[in-house]
Amino acid sequence: MSEAGNGRRGALPPGVSRSQELRERLQGEGYLADEGLSTAIFLALKLGRPLFLEGEAGVGKTEVAKVLSRLLDTTLIRLQCYEGIDVNQAVYEWDYARQLLHIRTAEAFGAEEDRQRFEDELYTRQFLVSRPLLQAIEYEDSTPPVLLIDEVDLADDEFEAFLLEILSDFAITIPEIGTIHASRPPVAVLTSNRTREVHDALKRRCLYFYIDHPGLEREVDIVRLRVPGADERLARQVATAVQGLRSMDLYKPPGVAETLDWTEALVALGAKELDEALIEATLGSVVKYREDQQRALGAGLQLLTGTGGV
Amino acid sequence: MLRAAVTFGRLLRRAGLAAGPDRMVEFVRALEELDPDRREDVYWAGRVTLCSRREDLELYDRAFRAFWEGKEVRTLKRPKTRMSVSLADDSVQPPKKTVERNESGEEMVRLRYSPVDILRKKDFALYTSEEHAELNKLLADLKLSGALRRSRRLEPAPRGRHDPRRTLRGAMRTGGEPMRHRYRKARSRPRRVVMLCDISGSMASYSRVLLRFMHAGVISGERLEAFVLGTRLTRITRELATKHPDRALSEASEAVRDWSGGTRLGDTITEFVDRWGQRGMARGSVVVILSDGWDRGDVEVLAEQMMRLHRLAYKVIWVNPLKAAPGYRPIARGMAAALPYVHVFLSGHNFESLEELAWAIAGAASEREGGAR
């Protein structure tokens, strides 16, 4: 547990000592966080704890890790989880081809005593291929990397066990070599869409934050910040329409990511204002199920343009 | 400050949050980094350190308000009493005392009064409370397991994908010459089973037993998810995970706020598919719905949702206790609408039919996805 002490040294960006300052810096990097999220990020950095972000698809969970790597001016190491992911794909793997070559070399040149040495060398660091998690632990640089473990709920529960050691002690144990500790623990961000409940033991090691869809005003601000080409009026109309869509009981309510896609599509079309024809032409960038599109169209487009009053 | 934090932690635990000592330490450390005099800071420090799932947030908010405003503290203690009231409300549930007394012995005596094979065929609605206690023992022996599905995990196999790691290990013994190649293939594991139990008033005679059945499934260690359908959807997998059946049931009933109300079957199933099913829980799994099909909502909605569920799930099993009645025909509008999208339609009114259900769930086991491909 003493190794976790490493994590206690905060990794805040220079010049930031309060969560409000962090919030401003995040905004400077193009990410609008509310007070809760910026406090959560602040604490994660300051206490050296992994940050566990949960929420609907497209609310900007992954974006947090990306913006943090920009803010801290460091590398982003990303591990995309999927069903069946295992140690060989996430942590490390032995380089079999090289090992085989090594044995052959021993065969060809080695005397009897040499061969023993060759065999001993077989399971040393030089034959180890590091995958994202090991890369993050071994990272040798003055600023620790940001480690993004994306959609951890998609991995199966067996895999969570590997994460436990990594996230609590920032260490990885390889049976043939020993335990490798991080000299500077990475800034870890985990995301989950809640396709299943992630085990408590894992969550207990993290700070937890649930990201909700933003309210109207904040969404307008996000659109303005991220799509500078959109003027105030368009941004507000798009945000209003998206809020309307979210209340429409769709299979897949649009997230902020869709709002931004949509605005970009509209700006690309040179739109200054949302009208029914434009919505019909671009609805596919914001609503992605056929049934949902029909529902949205059926509800009446004037509702979305804001002229019908939302 | 420390003392205040500890008191707050106790309050949270009473409200049902798992704010253990490790989390409390984290909370205090978080406070040190922030401004403990600012209420927002205290609020957020607690929220990120003491909550670990979305359902916690509401509990936390309530406890926070109660504690820091010094009001309403008492309302937080109330859920406990409300729980015991709701238990007593349900006439089918044996009074807690009876169960405890039964467990302290006397098995032989009661067996003579209700021979097991009669019990097996008797309709749950006609059970006496002693028979309910007896049933619990029967249920404890019931094995539940889902149909197999192919996992992405690999295991050693005589043929399949090449396994360099084991091949190399073998090659060491033969001087670096890989004489025997090793292979591995995808392992199969049981499919997830998702059970949705209707607890509306019309199901009252059966829902208790069906919940026991779900409990038996949850603690069997298989991948099983349990939900109840009332006026809204409640996930009770966690609550049922306690080994002790009575504690599990009372915890589950604590989580459920709407016992024996009306059902809007279509709406609650929509909620399930939206919030859980489509994101992955229902995909490729065996979905079991335990309901009499009475729906006070729009039947169209139910039909549409059943169609979605049918597309997502590997198998949809519908269990309707009314089916056992002589001359039963699915005339409840909800039932009629749902039936086209149901693979297996069972009765579930007595113990034998529950065994049948357990078989049906495990039965799909022999059908491996790999064969179909």
DSSP codes joined into one string, A117-165: HHHHHTTSGGGEEE-HHHHHHH--SSSPPEEEEETGGGS-HHHHHHHHH
Task: Break chain B down into helix, strand, coil percent, rounded to 5.
Answer: 60, 15, 30
Q: In 10 A of CB A148, how many CB atoms?
A: 25
Residue by residue, DSSP assigns B278-309 as IIIISTTSEEEEE-----SS-HHHHHHHHHHH
Beta carbons of B45 and A36 less than 8 Å apart: no
Which residue is closest to A158 within chain B, CA to CA? B153
What is the predicted ipTM? Answer: 0.83
Beta carbons of B281 and A96 less than 8 Å apart: no
pLDDT digits (tens, 9 = 90+) for A90-117: 999 888 888 888 877 777 776 666 767 7
Name the residue facing A96 among B20, B165, B175 (closest C-beta). Answer: B165
Beta carbons of A47 and B26 less than 8 Å apart: yes
Name the residue facing A43 among B18, B20, B30 (closest C-beta). Answer: B30
Contact B261, B201 (CB under 8 A): yes
Which residue is closest to A103 within chain B, CA to CA? B176
Contact B84, B249 (CB under 8 A): no
Which residue is closest to B274 within chain A, CA to CA? A251
pLDDT for res A158: 77
Partnered with residue B193 across adjacent β-strands are B224, B286
Beta carbons of B44 and A49 less than 8 Å apart: no
Contact A92, A131 (CB under 8 A): yes
- Interface A–B counts its CB contacts (< 8 A) at 109
Chain B residues whose CB is inside 8 A of the A82 CB are 152
Task: Break chain A down into helix, strand, coil percent, rounded to 5.
Answer: 50, 15, 35
Choose from B26, B28, B52 for mutation: most chain A CBs within 10 A: B52
Contact B297, B338 (CB under 8 A): no
DSSP code at position B273: I
Chain B residues whose CB is inside 8 A of the A61 CB are none
Chain B nearest CA to A306, separation (Å): 27
Chain B residues whose CB is inside 8 A of the A52 CB are 52
- pLDDT per residue rounded down to tens, chain B (373 residues): 778 888 888 888 888 788 888 889 999 999 999 988 888 899 999 999 999 888 888 889 988 888 877 654 443 333 332 332 223 333 333 333 333 333 433 333 333 334 556 667 777 777 777 777 777 777 766 655 555 555 666 777 778 788 877 887 777 677 667 778 888 887 777 778 899 998 887 887 888 888 888 888 777 766 788 998 887 888 888 888 877 777 777 777 777 766 666 677 888 899 899 888 887 788 888 899 998 888 777 888 888 899 889 988 888 999 988 887 777 777 777 888 888 899 888 888 888 888 888 878 776 544 554 433 2
Answer whether A42 touches B (CB < 8 Å). Answer: yes
How far from chain centre, in Å, is Cα A176? 31
pTM: 0.69
Distance CA B292, CA B280 (A): 26
pLDDT for res A267: 93
Beta carbons of B45 and A39 less than 8 Å apart: yes
Distance CA B166, CA B86 (A): 58
Contact A83, B284 (CB under 8 A): no
Contact B225, B281 (CB under 8 A): yes
Which residue is closest to A39 within chain B, CA to CA? B44
Beta carbons of A82 and B18 less than 8 Å apart: no
Chain B residues whose CB is inside 8 A of the A100 CB are 168, 171, 176, 178
Chain A residues whose CB is inside 8 A of the B23 CB are 204
pLDDT for res B316: 92
Which residue is closest to A155 within chain B, CA to CA? B152
Beta carbons of A208 and B48 less than 8 Å apart: yes
Beta carbons of B165 and A94 less than 8 Å apart: yes
Chain B nearest CA to A82, separation (Å): 9
**Can you list the pairs that A55-59 forms with residues at least 24 positions away whose Cβ atoms lie under 8 Å?**
A55/A193, A55/A210, A55/A211, A55/A212, A56/A193, A56/A213, A56/A253, A56/A255, A57/A193, A57/A252, A57/A255, A57/A257, A58/A254, A58/A255, A58/A256, A58/A257, A58/A258, A59/A211, A59/A212, A59/A213, A59/A214, A59/A255, A59/A256, A59/A257
Whose CA is closest to A273, among A240, A225, A226?
A240
Name the residue facing B40 among A35, A195, A197 (closest C-beta). Answer: A35
The two tokens of residue B189 are 């594991």
pLDDT for res B101: 38
Beta carbons of B175 and A107 less than 8 Å apart: yes
Beta carbons of A19 and B281 less than 8 Å apart: no
**Mean residue pLDDT across chain A:** 86
Which residue is closest to B155 within chain A, CA to CA? A84
Mean pLDDT by 10 residues, chain A (310 residues): 44 86 92 94 93 91 95 94 86 86 76 71 87 92 92 85 87 90 92 83 91 93 92 92 86 90 92 86 88 82 55
Name the residue facing A208 among B52, B152, B176 (closest C-beta). Answer: B52
pLDDT for res B239: 82
Beta carbons of B178 and A100 less than 8 Å apart: yes
Contact A128, A98 (CB under 8 A): no
